[in-house]
Structure 1
């Protein structure tokens, strides 16, 4: 079976020209320098952000979310899957400023941004409504009957971490206002619309993309030549050459990109599709099980099934030790929290004064905000690089061991223990989610099946006998701690390695029940 593997390459716009006609009949082309291209792309992103933000603020009500969640329009017809089309079916159209002429395809891009933000809020809204409807007498300690009632109202698949976080959010609102919120939209404000343009929501009347050769692509896109275009004469086709990175194969199919600005340049998130053979779900004779650790990013074990139905694991532990980068991330997260505390303090001072902050404090607040953005960007880039490095290591280990499948712990159920701020920082990051996505992508591209297994009991159960393990400081130090695992059957090894063996055994024993989801 073949599947279309979709990936996204971040490209930077190169040489550009503006034409007086259309891509079919360009007319007289004129070169556009980088400053002018960035300026005109900024006109488009600002216009889409304004239109989408206004529509989102209008639709951020319980009534609008209920209409969207119903999935049908006023005539009972099913809503389309395309977001902008669904909003139009419901009669929700962005409000165009007076005197501004906007092509219909730009309205589609703004509607798609709004629809995605609203659809992402539907699950949170349903969870919030269920918790409010079944609010217990003591939200910190629900009884068995309280949990049973709540589960009947919650959407399917809601995990305990989501319930806990939403309960804390609602309890905080009740403590401030002396009552429960009327709904989700009162509990949360509308999200900020990103400064980007989803060109995929448009068609050939606004954007076209074609490949020139193995290293370059051409993007035709209509951009406004002024900040507030008053007529269609203020819109012009721009011919932009896009250099392609080496990760885009010459045979890959190019899709419509997303346009945004970053660091004074026009960036394009260019999706591309490659047809690959799907790895089999069952019939594996050698596998690698990987466990997400606290101190070590990944700990893996090689396992093979036996004819008797048992699973034999290798005694050699495979570890991806990124302690240096992990400590750097911990320091950056702590620094980010310190900056956020100072920013919040100054913002409260500004809100409590009629005259606002004095010039020196205002300058300090701007400097703190800039530093906070810089640290956040550093954390994202470093975490992404760490995740992809770990994914590459895991797939390489699978090739070296001759394994055809990688079993990963279901990372979505991993929760912060709440014991200290330091541990919460280490567990609440998004690196493990990026890692799982990267392993799936690399595995699909290189014919290695990547399967997630339930995480419950992988660290607490013995991989030999299944009994409960004792977690101690070391083999010769039985003080309760996390690093080492002991069992009455004689099993004694590192806790993460023990969990990796159990994950591999669980995956191989249940491979005949493996199914595919939307992630592959």
Structure 2
């Protein structure tokens, strides 16, 4: 039913009417999709011989309205690109960018412009001309196999709590593929067990049903009360920098009364190099399996039509497809675990430090091109989007704001003086590299740590420029860099109370007495150990230097040790202490432990320690 509505109104004139937001009677169209289509007279019609209720038609009209509204937005983007098409679309000048931005719809990002430009360029290369609009570039969209019960009311679906961890969903569904009367529609009840992450007593919303692989999957959203944190008026913030080797590097910064940004100089790192290497190996395996499967598919399709199918070829292709699906699932699960672990670590540090805002650089338009194959693969497979979504979710629950700042120049500029930094491998070597940043002002700091300080300074100094987009995300689009200064270190009691040891040689060294009963850890002197009078039985004197003698024909289960392996020290498997201490979800994740810190100059209250 939804596909029929889309096919009937997939035209330029109808999308213009829908994008205008005004019906034929001059009234503004409702925000609900199914109500807007009914106001325009584009209601869904049931197939011949099928009886459905008005609520079922609402569900189909809601799906069609979402697809048509998305198509109207894409139509406006394509029309703006075609109206301002330059001579070189991948190297626009400043005036060409200004003209394009003036015609684009609101909220269009750079990634959408790049993707639509590539689409138009591909059409131009095939047909030798520019398309007339969106309808020559794309066919009409199809609706996914899902049932959005949110468009119906309680006469179609009812959601009730049964106990603290289970929700019962009542829905009126057909018992056959083509119901001929209302007697073929019956009420079905199914219980949904909630995971432990869902709090007890929250508001459970209407679910969405998705049939797949002979089963019905239930997307059950839930809501909890939340007060949006303002994006302005913060005195202490946490600046976060994304990295390739180190996933997250953060630092705490304060805004003093004079408007200066002060940092404490302590870096906070979430190093997931081991997990990233594992993901790279899995992606290589996935690409290898996909290449083999494509090759076998070409061999299968290239056989003559009258030839019989090769069972060995078909079975091998099925095994490759199953292995490819398993590797893809493993990558998804590992990315999900990595993203939420990093987000939980970051929010715990923000709460422990008493910060009220987290500043993250906006890398939504980061492209992986122009680099090596390995770096392009690592950038393309990064989990930054999932980490940002998890951080926004967990920070909202903790009452912490999340604001994005411009990413340009965060790693190439000095946080202290604003000059251009030099990237070297190590602080004591001037060889060009990635890890370390030095500046003529005397800065010598880790590259990601310096970028995190610059991000925190941009966010705290430009709070008045923060704006929220249509999705509610706070963003600072243009920022002015402010120099940061290091907070003076407080003297520790160890350095102030312990007296200095007198190292002058003015008298004989006093003889030290060893407690009775304590054995020395040093080896005894040679003269203190008498030499054996007779050699031990079975020994033939000192063995000459060389490898350990090996028995040619051992009588029992004797382990033959090669000469390259030490016969005195046992071998133990590699174990990471960070995972044993509970600092990460994976044994190859090294993260700064969360500790309670004082409020400092920001005047923030002390929060309970996060574990």
TM-score normalised by L of structure 2: 0.70
Please give the secondary structure, in 2, of the residue aligned with 1:116: helix
Q: Does 1:152 align with 2:105?
A: no
| Counterpart Cα distance in 2 of 1:67 and 1:348 | 46
Please give the secondary structure, in 2, of the residue aligned with 1:203: coil
| Counterpart Cα distance in 2 of 1:358 and 1:133 | 54
| Counterpart Cα distance in 2 of 1:513 and 1:146 | 26
1:270-289 equivalent positions in 2, closer than 5 A:
270-289=220-239
Aligned counterpart, 1:461: 413
Preserved contact between residue 175 and residue 186 of structure 2 (Cα < 8 Å): yes
Residue ranges of structure 1 left out of the alignment (5+ in a row): 1-50
CA RMSD of aligned residues (A): 3.0
Q: Deviations over 1:289-347 (max 9, x none)?
A: 11111222111111122333211212221111122332333334444445555666677
Aligned counterpart, 1:216: 166
Which structure has more helix as a fraction of its residues? 1
Aligned counterpart, 2:367: 415
1:74-89 equivalent positions in 2, closer than 5 A:
74-89=24-39
Aligned counterpart, 1:177: 127
Which structure has more strand as a fraction of its residues? 1
Q: How far has the Cα of 1:160 moved from its partner?
A: 3.4
Relative to structure 1, the CA distance from residue 277 to residue 146 in structure 2 (aligned partners, 3 Å threshold; closer, same or farther) is closer
Q: How far has the Cα of 1:439 moved from its partner?
A: 1.1
Q: Does 1:141 align with 2:91?
A: yes
Please give the secondary structure, in 2, of the residue aligned with 1:236: strand
Aligned counterpart, 1:194: 144
1:217-296 equivalent positions in 2, closer than 5 A:
217-261=167-211, 264-296=214-246
Aligned counterpart, 1:326: 276
| Counterpart Cα distance in 2 of 1:207 and 1:90 | 27
Counterpart selection for 1:119 from 45, 55, 69: 69
Q: Does 1:396 align with 2:355?
A: no
Preserved contact between residue 349 and residue 357 of structure 1 (Cα < 8 Å): no
Preserved contact between residue 290 and residue 407 of structure 1 (Cα < 8 Å): yes
Q: Does 1:519 align with 2:492?
A: no
1:485-500 equivalent positions in 2, closer than 5 A:
485-500=437-452
| Counterpart Cα distance in 2 of 1:239 and 1:252 | 21
Relative to structure 1, the CA distance from residue 184 to residue 414 in structure 2 (aligned partners, 3 Å threshold; closer, same or farther) is same
Q: How far has the Cα of 1:496 moved from its partner?
A: 1.4
Preserved contact between residue 407 and residue 504 of structure 1 (Cα < 8 Å): yes
Q: How far has the Cα of 1:351 moved from its partner?
A: 8.2
Please give the secondary structure, in 2, of the residue aligned with 1:150: helix
Preserved contact between residue 471 and residue 482 of structure 1 (Cα < 8 Å): yes
Q: Does 1:433 align with 2:433?
A: no
Q: How far has the Cα of 1:277 moved from its partner?
A: 4.0
Q: Does 1:107 align with 2:57?
A: yes
Aligned counterpart, 1:11: none
Preserved contact between residue 45 and residue 57 of structure 2 (Cα < 8 Å): no
Preserved contact between residue 173 and residue 186 of structure 2 (Cα < 8 Å): yes
Q: Does 1:383 align with 2:300?
A: no
Residue ranges of structure 2 left out of the alignment (5+ in a row): 474-611
Q: How far has the Cα of 1:478 moved from its partner?
A: 3.6
Preserved contact between residue 290 and residue 301 of structure 1 (Cα < 8 Å): yes
Please give the secondary structure, in 1, of the residue aligned with 2:28: coil
Q: How far has the Cα of 1:86 moved from its partner?
A: 1.9
| Counterpart Cα distance in 1 of 2:321 and 2:135 | 27
| Counterpart Cα distance in 2 of 1:168 and 1:135 | 12
Q: Deviations over 1:353-402 (max 9, x none)?
A: 99499734666666555555444443333322221111101011112222
Please give the secondary structure, in 1, of the residue aligned with 2:221: strand
How many residues align structurally?
470
Preserved contact between residue 207 and residue 219 of structure 1 (Cα < 8 Å): yes
Relative to structure 1, the CA distance from residue 154 to residue 446 in structure 2 (aligned partners, 3 Å threshold; closer, same or farther) is same
1:445-484 equivalent positions in 2, closer than 5 A:
445-484=397-436
Relative to structure 1, the CA distance from residue 232 to residue 335 in structure 2 (aligned partners, 3 Å threshold; closer, same or farther) is farther
Counterpart selection for 1:444 from 389, 392, 396: 396
1:279-318 equivalent positions in 2, closer than 5 A:
279-318=229-268
Deviates more, 1:342-351 or 1:403-412: 342-351
Deviates more, 1:404-413 or 1:219-228: 404-413
Q: How far has the Cα of 1:425 moved from its partner?
A: 3.3
**Greater Rg by CA:** 2
Please give the secondary structure, in 1, of the residue aligned with 2:87: coil
Q: How far has the Cα of 1:81 moved from its partner?
A: 0.9
TM-score normalised by L of structure 1: 0.81
